[in-house]
Structure 1
């Protein structure tokens, strides 16, 4: 990862953690709200074989999300990679109705021909922070409907348009970055995060 311009969180180095399997762990197996936070970070996905972690882009210090896509063991990973490439093409990415979270970069894992890392912006749930005006809510729903219309016009069916898959880039709202798993905390653990 470092050769490609990124740094992973130092406490984990390059150890992957599968968040989606935690959906099946009985309540109480993880302390406090940890299980909920981990499930929330994965976006409430069920099944699949996605593996997610956070990193820092070395070129500008931006926080990003890394998602491992295994094309051999997961058909959904292959579809996700193909759809992301398609929606990120120059023609489609320039359409103002395309509100998809597009990959910043797709990296092939060294020594693994069919395993890729999808580098994406660090996003958070659409309703955190809560809407403060009717105009914000109207703008949100307008973008959701524009996006669905855009996808359908280009013969892409989302098939899982739900709360957990509706995220925002809230970077402009937070003077101090949030922790990628404990969303209520600052990234440096020096208290709770506050938005503008």
Structure 2
């Protein structure tokens, strides 16, 4: 059974990962739809040639020219990008007989996020370009200084100003793939931070216990962008492979992306906010550009939306979490539980289940099951 103290920032659904014994099919790389605007980066290329005649395999597209221009500077600061983004790049696909799937440097990226290697120790990191004075940078610095933050949020390793323009900086973060669960909300709220954009794309997991050999940043089902990860074989531990969740044991989950977050110095200084944004803004009834609302209660609704959409509507065997989901989905913010109360309810629900129930693998829901869960979440009885 989970510990009962909430102040320690326990993850919201830590026991849910025990139920999800095999969910490697939903692992995705960190992504964003925000285009690069910093100096040295041009607007994303939306030309019709992208995806046509394989030009993206041999030509830099989207924001990639900007990354190549920054590569020498980043290398001076101790980070090296993939071969595709290094000056003088000669595409491997130009070699006679080479196919795109055989060439790691044929994998292109877009947006203000890219992977890199730290030269000093070979560690895999992620670089993200952000405005220097933004709330995201402020919260990242705040969490980096907090001794308990590393358990619940991805903390920055370094902040590097963009050369010749102090308005922009690179955030350097540990590299992790995305998973669909949630954690750390109790901790963030205890630090007076409202995330305001909780969704699967902003939750990451340290998958190193599942994939000890590592994986490619874009093609995460491969070890190097070319060779697929194989099913783990204990008799051949050196072959790049992936373990099941049961074989890997408990994983650590973290919140990322504080670009829309709000922070207050103390509990007493918390205030209502305005703004209509976020990847699931349409599902939050109180969001408004003019009428103030409680950002912390928005976080709770977002957790409920993620449980409903990404778990209950996709998988069977998770009915135990329906009572909590219904409370989180209440249209009235005042009637939603805060993070600590929701955690306490989750612990009570988990305490009613046996280890055998918790370790049952989940299955994709049928259309009929999805309909039944949808009705129940909205308050109707299962039939």
- Does TM, normalized by the shorter one, top 0.5? yes
Answer whether contact 1:98 1:150 (CA < 8 A) is retained. no
Deviations, residues 34-65 of structure 1 (Å, cap 9, x unaligned): xxx98xx99xxxxxxx6011100001101111
Residue 12 of structure 1 corresponds to which residue in structure 2?
A: 85
The whole-number CA distance in structure 1 between the counterparts of 2:76 and 2:82 is 15
Residue 123 of structure 1 corresponds to which residue in structure 2?
A: 176
CA-CA distance at 1:187 after TM superposition: 1.9
Q: Does 1:178 align with 2:251?
A: no
CA-CA distance at 1:13 after TM superposition: 2.7
The whole-number CA distance in structure 2 between the counterparts of 1:98 and 1:183 is 23
The whole-number CA distance in structure 1 between the counterparts of 2:209 and 2:157 is 18
Q: Find the partner of 2:125 among 17, 41, 64.
A: 64
Answer whether contact 1:67 1:118 (CA < 8 A) is retained. yes
Residues 64 and 96 of structure 1, relative CA distance in 2, 3 Å threshold: closer
Q: Find the partner of 1:191 among 201, 205, 228.
A: 228
Answer whether contact 1:176 1:187 (CA < 8 A) is retained. no
The whole-number CA distance in structure 2 between the counterparts of 1:188 and 1:54 is 13
The whole-number CA distance in structure 1 between the counterparts of 2:171 and 2:186 is 25
Answer whether contact 1:8 1:54 (CA < 8 A) is retained. yes
Residue 32 of structure 2 corresponds to which residue in structure 1?
A: none
User: What are the equivalent positions in structure 2 for 1:156-175 lying under 5 Å apart?
Assistant: 156-175=193-212
Residue 85 of structure 1 corresponds to which residue in structure 2?
A: 141
Q: Which runs of 5+ in 1 are unaligned?
A: 15-36, 43-49, 72-76, 128-139
May I ask how many residue pairs the two structures share in their alignment?
Answer: 141
Q: Find the partner of 2:115 among 54, 66, 69.
A: 54
Answer whether contact 1:66 1:117 (CA < 8 A) is retained. yes
CA-CA distance at 1:188 after TM superposition: 4.9
Q: CA RMSD in A?
A: 2.6
Residue 132 of structure 1 corresponds to which residue in structure 2?
A: none
Residue 110 of structure 1 corresponds to which residue in structure 2?
A: 163
Structure with higher Rg: it is 2
The whole-number CA distance in structure 1 between the counterparts of 2:126 and 2:169 is 13
The whole-number CA distance in structure 2 between the counterparts of 1:98 and 1:192 is 28
Deviations, residues 116-137 of structure 1 (Å, cap 9, x unaligned): 000011111225xxxxxxxxxx
Residue 187 of structure 2 corresponds to which residue in structure 1?
A: 150
Answer whether contact 2:218 2:225 (CA < 8 A) is retained. no
CA-CA distance at 1:169 after TM superposition: 1.7
SS at match of 1:171: coil
Q: Does 1:100 align with 2:153?
A: yes
SS at match of 1:54: strand
Answer whether contact 2:222 2:228 (CA < 8 A) is retained. yes
Q: Which runs of 5+ in 2 are unaligned?
A: 1-73, 88-106, 231-240, 244-383
Answer whether contact 2:229 2:242 (CA < 8 A) is retained. no
